[in-house]
Amino acid sequence: MQVQTLSPTSPAIPRAPAVPVRLRDRGVFTLTYSPGEPIYVEGDAPHSLYRIVCGAVRTVRHSIDGRRQIGGFYYPGDLFGLDGEEGHAYSAEAMCATEVVVCRQKAPAEERSDRTDYCAAIAELSRTQHHLSLLGRRSASDKVASFLVDMARRDGSDVASLPMSRQDMADYLGLAIETVSRVLGQFQIQGLVVFVSCRDFQIVRGAALNRLAAS
């Protein structure tokens, strides 16, 4: 982990505005993480609010039987870290080279406000509700279609990049990796999407994919 500035790792993942340098000694500073490096660990006392400058983050926890569950994915501009009062409910890991702004909870009042925490909490609640809705969908095709549509909307285009692995997608959607791969293959055969690489895809039949996502 380094305290420095990184350039974005992919043009598909934009860079959010950085924190002013003058705040680094006042409880607000920038950290960079390597792929797979933990930002905080499940059970750690929550002491900071995080905002992604560039890169991507996943939140992860493991059940007693060893199964991995992904709580959410976070991208440039997203706030995270408000997932538990006594301790973090999930661990947070960088999915690629990632830069985050860290705001210590004891930072001066003028540099952080209840409004910031409120907005972060509302965003987290909305994200959790969406995830629960996604897990409640009846078929694997519905889940994967909704996931792809959400990723495309985030990028603001029918062409989008997936910073996560197929296993990440499977753990997030509550599916087996074989199921995710099979559904993605079916979507390509049906001409709904085209994968130009293992991470980059284009929605070809948007109306049909949206119907699946909305079912």
| Residue 73 CA: distances (Å) to CA of 82, 147, 164, 176, 211 | 14, 11, 8, 18, 24
pLDDT at 93: 97
Q: At what angle do helices 114-135 and 140-155 cross, to 10 degrees?
A: 150
pLDDT at 11: 39
Q: Is 143 helix (H, G, I), strand (E, B) or coil?
A: helix
Spatial neighbors of 44 by CB under 8 A, at least 6 apart, are 87, 88
Instruction: Please tell me the pTM assigned to this model.
Output: 0.73
Residue found under tokens 């900071």: 48
Burial of 8 (0-12, 13-18, 19+ CB in 10 A): middle
* pLDDT tens per residue, range 11-28: 344 555 544 444 444 578
Instruction: Name residue 101's beta-bridge partners.
Output: 30, 51
pLDDT at 127: 59
The whole-angstrom separation of Cα 209 and Cα 4 is 41
Q: Is 76 helix (H, G, I), strand (E, B) or coil?
A: coil
Regions in the chain scoring below 70 on pLDDT = 1-26, 84-85, 106-137
The whole-angstrom separation of Cα 45 and Cα 40 is 9
Q: Hey, what are 13's tokens?
A: 């993942």
Instruction: Name residue 61's beta-bridge partners.
Output: 69
pLDDT at 120: 61
Task: Look at residues 136, 138, 141, 149 and name the one whose alpha carbon lies nearest to residue 181.
Answer: 141
